[in-house]
Every structure is written in C-alpha cells, then in structure tokens.
Amino acid sequence: MFGGNKSFFSSTKRGGKLAVTRQVKKIYLRTDIPCGSGGCTACKPYLDDSGKVQLLDPEAHHYLIPDTNVILHNIDAIESPSLKNIIILDTVLGEVKGLNTGVYERLAALIKDVDRQKRIYVFSNENHRDTAVQQESGETMNDRNDKAIRKAAKWYQLHLGEGPEIVLLTHDKANREKAVELGITAKSISEFVNENLAHESDLVDRVATGTAATNERKQFGEKLFPPHLPKKAMQSELAKGTLLKGTLRQGGSNLHEGWVAVATKDATNRTVSNEYLLASRRALNRTIDGDVVAIRVLPPQDWTKPMRLLTKEQRKNARTDRVTSGIADEQGARGAGFFPTAEVVGLLENNRRPVCGSILWDNDQTSVAERESVLCRPVKSNVPYIRMQTRQVEQLKGKRIQVVIDDWSETSMYPEGHVVKVLGDIGDKDVEAEVILLENDIPHYQFSKDVLNCLPKGEWFVEPEEEAVRMDFRNKTVVSVDPPGCKDIDDALHCEKLPNGNYEVGVHIADVTHFVKEESPLDLEAKKRSTSVYLVDRRIDMLPKLLTENLCSLVGNEERYTFSVVWEMTEDCKVVNTKFTKGIIKSKSAMSYYTAQDMVDDPNATSDIAMGLKYLLMLSRVLKAERIKAGALTLASQEMKFTMDMESNNATDVAEYVHIPTMSMIEEWMLFANVAVAEKIFKEFPQWACLRRHPPPLDGAMDGLNEALEAQGMPLLDQSTSKNLADTLDACNDANDPFFNKLVRMLTTRNMCQAKYFSSGEFDKSLFAHYGLAMSIYTHFTSPIRRYSDVIVHRQLAAAIGITKRSTQHMDADFMNDMTANMNYRHTLAQHAGRDSRNLYIGFVFDSFKNGKEIPVQDGYIVRTTESGVVVMVPRFGTEGMCLYDEVTNGVNVQSLKQLDKVKVKLTLRPGAQDDVARNKLLYEILDIVHVTRTPVKIAAMDTQPPPPPAERIISKEEEKETDETVKEDKVEEKKAPKKPVKKIVKKKVAKRVADGAGKPAKRVKKAASPDEEGEDI
C-alpha cells in the first residue's frame, strides 16, 4: 500500500449563500487492482471470476478506453452490442456522474448487466499505484483528468504488451496529440467505427456527428444565426442584470416564435413572472423548447406581437419583415398592443432528450448513396427538423425513429443529429404508444431484477404475526366499486347501520407499504416513476403487476392487507369518532360502477351488499352537499370514451364519458378519507407532512371569460372566493342550450392554477387550502398502488399512529421538497401522455374519413378569439382547432363571431403525410352561426336534499344467495374483459353497462382519462 492525498471541493448552502470548502482526502494506492483482461496471467490472482464482473476478452483486437466526453455524447453508440471490450476508468465514471445523471445511470446499467456479454470493465485507475496522478499547481481539473486517462491508457499498453491494441477514444484534438506523442493509439469514436466497424450500419448511425451541414446557407449569407456568447460573458451580464435567464417554451406548431418567463422581484419584494416574446428563428438562435437560455430584451420600438395576433397581411411577411411598435416608450408600446420582445444570446442548460420522429422521403426515389443526408421530422411540431447522415435510408422509410440532437451550427437551418433507435412502423398502435411515453419522459422499461427480488416469493397468505396486530374486517361487508375491467383496485368500502342509529363507514386502502419497504430497490423505482400512467389502450404501472393486480389489489373473495379509516357518524354525517388502523379484509365483491348503480337503483335489492351501497350513496350525498355549501367547485373537462372493435382493436368511435351517481359516491368517500388523513399527519408532523394545495386563480384570471359572458347576456363570474365562484357558475346556465353551463365550467377550469404536492414546511398554513375542493387541508392517501405521494402519506400516517418509527428522510426538508417536485413533474407528464394518447386515438377514429368520406356537420362553440381567427370546440369529438377569418365562407359575418357563440362546423380530414396517422389534421370550417337566445336559469350543482334512508327488510337465504350469485357473475365477466383484441363476442349483458347503453357485440369502451376517483385533477 502506498499513501497519497486527493483534493476535492464541497459546497453547502448556509444562510442563502454558497460556501465552498477545500477538503483533502487520504487515499491508499494499491498494486493488486486487476486490469480486467481474462487472459492476463499477472492479474489472474486478483481477478473476480465469480461471474458478477464482466471481464475483457483476451482474443479481442482492441480494448477501448473512452474519455468523459465520448461517453456523454455517444452513450447511444456505447450501448450498441457491436462495441465491446470497453474499459471505463474511475476518472471517467466520476466525471460522468457529476455531469449527467441520466447518462451515468445508463452507463451503470451496462456495467452491471453481466448477461449482455458487453465486456465492459471498470478500472480503478485513481487507486492504482502506477496510474494515479496528482493535480499540479496551475493545472485545471479538466487537464488533470485528461492526463490521468492518458496515463491509464499507457499503463494498459505496457501491461498487456502484445495483447489487444489499446485505443483511447477522444474528441479532444489536444488530448489526441498528447496521447500520440506517448505512443498511444488515439482516435475519435467516429474514426474508430468507420475504420473497424463500417459494416455495422446501426452503430454507424448511432455515432454522434461532429460536423454540421452547410447546405442551408441562404437568406443571411454565410451565417444564419448570431454566435452564442461565451459562458463567462453570459454569467457576468446575468449578474449585472443586462441579460435575463429563463426556460424557453414553444407551444403549438409555430417554430418561428417562443416565450421565456423570467422570475424577478417587484418593488414590494414579491416574486413576479414576466414573459418575453421571441419572434423569429433568428431570435430563438438555435434553441428549442425546454432549453434554459440567456436573453437580451429589445428596446420598446422593436417590440412586436405574437403570430396569432397579426392580421393576414402582417402574417404574410412576418418571417422577413415583422411589424414592430416604433414606440420608444415602454408604456406606450404596451398600450398599443405590443409585447416585450427579446432574443437569445446563449444556451445556459441543454435539457434535451431524444426526439421521436420519422424521415422525409420520396416514394419514387431509391437510396443509392453509401451514406445519405436526410431530414427527420419530429412527432412534436415544436421541434425543428433534424438533419442526419445515415446508410439506412431504405430501412428507415415508414418507421418511427428516435434521434438525438448533437450540434447546431450557425451556418445551418437545422440541427445535426443521429439515430438512436428504430421504434417500428408508423401507425402501429404499440409503436405510437411508445412514442407518447418517450416524448413525455415516462419510465416504461421492464422492472429490474433487483426490483423484482423485493417481491414476495411463492404462495402468499396472511401471516400470523400480522393477523395478531391488525384489525380484522373480514366479517364486514366490504366491496370495491371501480371502472369496468379495473385490475389495480386501491380502495374498498363498507357501511353498516349501528344499533344506536348511527353508521359505521370504513374506507380500506391497499397496504402497499407493507410490501414496499423504504429505500429498497422497489421503493426507489416507485419514487422515480412516481405515478402509474394511463393511456387509452394500456397502463404503465408504478409497481410490478404482482402487487398492482394481485397482492395489493383488493379483489373479491381474497384476503388482503389494508390501511383503513373507520368512522362512526350520524345520519347527517357528523363524525362521532375516527380510527386509523392497519387491517385485513376479504372483499365480498369487486363491482363496476354500473353493477353497483343497478343494485342501488333496484328497490328490491336488500342484501347486505345492496344495503351497504345504498347507505354509502345516501351519506355521500350529505357529504357532497356540505362541500358545495362550503364552496367546492363543480368544474368540468372533456372526458372521452372510445369504442373499440374487438377483432381489430381499432377505435371506431369517440364520445363523451357519462358520469353516474356511484362514481360521485366513491369520489366523496375518497375525499373524506384524504382530508381526515391530512389533518392527522399535519398534526403530528407540522414541518414535513406531504400535502396537496390548490391556489386560488390569479387576479383577473376570469376577466376574458367574463367579457364573453357579458356579451352573451349571462351573469359574470366572481372568483373572490370559491363559494362565490361556485354560485356564479351555477347561475351561468342557459335554458336554451344544455351544453352551455358545462362549456363555461370547462373554460373556468383552464383559467385555474395547477394543484401541487408540497411539504408542509414550505408554506404558511394559510396557504395550504385547496381552492377547488374548498378544503383548508388536503392530501392523497387513497391510491398508493398508482401514486407515490400516497405511499409517503401511508408511511407518515403509520408513524403518526405509532405503528412505525418516523422516517429520517421525511424529516429532511430538502429531501421532501425534492420529492414533491418530482411528483409534480411526473404527475404533469402523465396528464400530457394521457392527452396525447386521446388525440392519437381521435386520429385513428378519423382515419376512416381519409378517402373522401364526409364527416357529418357538427355543433361547435367558439372558445377563443384572436385578431386572425377563432378556436372552435366540437363537443361531439372532444376536439378543437383554429378557423382563420380568411377561411370563413358561406356569408358568415366573421366580425360578429364572439367567444361562447354556438356555430355549425364542417370538419375535413387532411391525412398526415406519408400515411402518418399521428399527423392527421382536422380542418374546421364555420358554416353558420346558431343564434341562441341566452336565458339564464339558476341551477343547483346537485340536489342538496339527501334521499330518505333505504327501507330495510329481512330477506330469505334463497334471495340472499340469488343476489350474491348475480354479483359473482358480474364480477367474473368484468375480470374477463380483455385488454387485447380477442376473437370473441362480448355478452350483451356486459355491453349494456357502458355509459351510453350501447349493446352491440364485439365492441368495448375505453375511457380516455386516468382514474382519479377523488375527482381532483386540476
């Protein structure tokens, strides 16, 4: 052993300031660290031959030693099966971990996966006597690390002698030159692949390009874009305030403009957000949606307007001669309708992920060149085309591919990139689903062995030690009520009338934390995923199916562990006592909403199950009446259902999802349990309880909608309190147009802030409130199978009632803040994925109209107006689109079109280029204005008078058995509801229970929304 010192720097935040401390770590240099070559006799005594470590092939022609930048920019190539016998130095591994967590995790997975025969070996060069280096005085850390990599490469060369050739892979010209001076073979990864593996087309395409194409040099001469400022200059100007920092956002399909929101302090030291318009591709300066950029604000006379507010003539010349204010005074420019405008001067953070798309090709052209330049058209319209060099043009035609952007030169209209992966055929449902998941950053890979090893083995049964400490609910009439075909059943309920006239109600939630131990690989994976994701045709689970569909799913007639909340309450829902407890249940039935609704509607149904459901519905109406009295909002969104052909699995129709009373019943009890748990965990953990808040709308958020309501002769909305808003929403009901009130509620929802998870120490208690639900405190407890927030809350509740010890992590404010931030991020992306899936399936529905078949004329509503056109909503299909004034014909007076107007709309399908169903586009043409005399009629959000308690009667054993058999039959049919197309006719009894009552065989209905039973999806 030989001693040495290693210096490094650590930083901590104290009092809002960053303190940097130099630390010296004592290290011991060794000589017994093996080189990893399976044929090295000198290292054989030290080699790990257990099979847990990948060893290098002694017969290989080359051993590759990539530097840090090669790993960072070519991880896709490194992952290729064609590249083998790779030595990862400790120096490189540490740098990658510090610079890019995502790449580090991919590299770590390669190292760990011994089954792939990748032969990738980690060498501890920093701890080996012959390869360790010191940082010299005046030497940068980057130069020191390059020196360490060269020294390790030279050591391998001398150590192995006549063995495989050692090749240092680096893009750094200076590093290559110094390596060559030492007699080391040094190449760029592109050079190595082209010289040795040129026949591997997939690998060649994966290698990141280092040069940008210059064949788009036009309009601005040699350089199309201004150069970015150096990082140091940007940081200096940001500190002075002459530049501003923010994240670029580009919505819709307009690549020629974007917005950057910048948070600043106002005169009262409040944080305010100002938005700046970037009005051209030159102003965007080679940045894309999600990039963190530095911007320079232009003087007011150069301010302009977004494209949607330009007139036809102004839009025609917008790309070369955008209209500007010409007003030097900021207030005057704003008053004239111009927006603060800026330009990008540099890229601060590149957060780009791989892009999904397809290549543009000519059907009549055959690829002949060895390596061709092609354009990839991304699926998302707010990403520019990407130029690629590939040998696989013929193989890529008609395929969805994944592409990484490598570079974007000042001389190129498009960024340069390379193919990472071929996903499959355009229009294939599985391929398009994967595209949606990739584009929304949804983890959807298979669970690892480490995760699966955390699951119970063999047949599961109730353990005697658990039975001794849990409350036994197996004698209670517990049932679950869920959407048809639901397999991940989080919750079940029971309700019975007590001898004293009160009611006992139990909400039983799957005890996920019994199986998911804190900080286990299973827990860490669930934390990363944070939520299950629901697409139209599939579910991406947060947890393995053994838990989601079996051990944690509260299926009928099986014993399951629960975390339960049990109340004794009066008939008017006054709580007498509350008990939180771990329990054991045996659900009497796993019912669908429709089966349960049939039962509560049947006056002759008086079994224990039926009576329990009737009590639950009766009490839930009281709870809802109390919530609405307190100011809870009844908002709306367009939830759609798709009719699927069982044979082809194609979507054949789309319609609005209809709600029934049993859905509201479950929603109320979930809300009631969530509030009870929120109060309990906050009482015990006031600084780190995991809660959920919904801020009130921003000041003036309803002003635009109120202008439209006033023009329609309808009452205005009052957002001062949720109660006032609820009352004024109830007043916006039109006796002559049943959809009008729902439309107003939908537009109101769009003007709301987003509900967010937070740790209670982040905010003053006065800011905890959930505006939409009119609750002073709220959390998520009832869906731990599919939401990680609920897992955290279960652990906090267990600690609060003394079942487990307090988690040290949960008492760490930074940890809780980071975790809730990730949960909010994942929740938002899951919603986006669900929306994209719905839009994709709407495209599939309209695909049948691409051969000239006419779509029937539909009712529509104007939901937004601009200077150039209107946005029209068609409720029948849940779609919206822009109709430009210039395109309105049939004598319609375009100037008279107002928000909330009802119109007749003709829809025409414009098929996606090259049969790209994801790019099917609906064109909207307004044929006529439907003149409706708006007649305000006050409505109640619900019948606040609960129905009388259900009559009780004694039934015979024969009647009870008959009722139970009916429930079992319904349960069996629901469990058999297929996820994949099967050649089987569905019984009419099942089809009868879909929301619209359609009873056609060989059809099934899929709801295009995630199952938020709490009804809280703001």
pLDDT attached to residue 837: 92
Tens digits of per-residue pLDDT, 770-795?
999 999 999 999 999 999 999 999 99
Q: What's the Cα-to-Cα distance from 898 to each of 311, 340, 587, 704, 933, rounded to whole Å?
A: 17, 27, 54, 12, 14
**Confidence band (pLDDT; 50, 70, 90) for 506?**
very high
At 984 the pLDDT is 30
- Using the predicted structure, report yes or no on whether residue 731 has a pLDDT greater than 50: yes
Does pLDDT of 884 surpass 90?
no
| Least confident window among 326-335, 695-704, 947-956, 985-994 | 985-994
Q: What is the mean pLDDT of the chain?
A: 84
Q: Give the integer Cα–Cα distance in Å for 87 and 77.
A: 15
Please tell me the distance from the alpha carbon of residue 998 to that of residue 978, in angstroms, as a whole number: 18
Summarize pLDDT for 438-492 with one digit per residue, the tens: 999 999 999 999 999 999 998 999 999 999 999 999 999 999 999 988 899 999 9
Output the pLDDT for position 996: 34
- Tell the residue number behind the tokens 């995760």, with chain if given: 451
Mean pLDDT of the region 143-171: 93
- Residue 986 has what pLDDT? 31
Average pLDDT over residues 126-152: 92
User: For residue 915, is pLDDT > 80?
Assistant: no
Predicted TM-score (pTM) of this structure: 0.78
Which amino acid is located at 145 in the chain?
N
Distance CA 332, CA 619 (A): 59
Residue 592: strand, helix, or coil? strand
CA torsion angle for 344, 350, 354, 358 (degrees, to 10)? 10
CA distance readout (Å), 600 to 330, 481, 660, 756, 818: 64, 12, 12, 36, 45
Q: What is the mean pLDDT of residues 200-221?
A: 55
Q: What are phi and psi of 757, to 5 degrees?
A: -75, 150
Which two three-digit tokens encode residue 240?
Answer: 């002075």
Query: With 70 as the cut, is the pLDDT of residue 946 above it?
Result: no
What is the three-class DSSP state of 263?
Answer: strand
Q: Smallest Cα–Cα separation from 692: which of 757, 783, 752?
A: 757
At residue 317's C-alpha, the angle toward residues 312 and 323, to 5°, is 85
How long a stretch of residues is the chain? 1018
Whether residue 886 contacts residue 892, with contact meaning beta carbons closer than 8 Å, is answered with no
For the stretch 619-669, pLDDT in tens is: 999 999 999 999 998 887 777 777 777 666 677 777 777 889 999 999 999
In this structure, are residues 722 and 696 in contact, taking their beta carbons and an 8 Å threshold?
yes
Number of other residues whose CB lies within 10 A of the CB of residue 571: 15
The confidence score (pLDDT) of residue 173 equals 87
pLDDT band at 955 (very low <50, low <70, confident <90, very high): very low
pLDDT tens, residue by residue, 103-116: 888 898 888 876 65
- Mean pLDDT for 295-307 is 93
**pLDDT of residue 727 exceeding 60:** yes
Tell me how far apart the alpha carbons of residues 662 and 639 are, in angstroms, rounded to a whole number: 17
Residue 375 has pLDDT above 80, yes or no: yes
Q: Which are the contacts of 390, defined by CB distance < 8 A and separation ≥ 6?
A: 201, 205, 359, 371, 372, 374, 396, 419
Among 91-105, 608-622, 673-687, 989-1003, the minimum mean pLDDT is found in 989-1003
SS (H, E, C) 553-574: CCCCCCEEEEEEEEEEECCCCC
Taking Cα atoms as reference points, which of 793, 727, 825, 779 lies closest to residue 1014?
Answer: 779
Distance between CA atoms of residues 545 and 594, nearest Å: 26
> Of 20-34, 122-136, 331-345, 744-758, which gets the smallest average pLDDT?
20-34
pLDDT at residue 914, rounded to an integer: 66
Q: What are the pLDDT digits (tens) for 522-567?
A: 999 999 999 999 999 899 999 999 999 999 999 999 999 999 999 9
Q: DSSP code of 128?
A: B
Q: Are 748 and 717 in contact (CB under 8 A)?
A: yes
Cα separation values, 144 from 96, 139, 150, 379, 536, Å: 15, 7, 10, 43, 53
Please give the Cα distance from 889 to 899 (Å, whole number): 19
Residue 12's pLDDT is what?
A: 44
Task: Tell how far CA 511 is from the center of its chain.
Answer: 25
**570 Cβ contact list (under 8 Å, min separation 6):** 501, 502, 503, 576
Decide if 898 contacts 706 (C-beta within 8 A): no
Q: How large a percentage of the chain has pLDDT more than 70?
A: 84
* Contact between 641 and 995 (Cβ < 8 Å): yes
Mean pLDDT over 412-427 rounds to: 90
Cα dihedral value 554, 480, 565, 678, nearest 10: 90
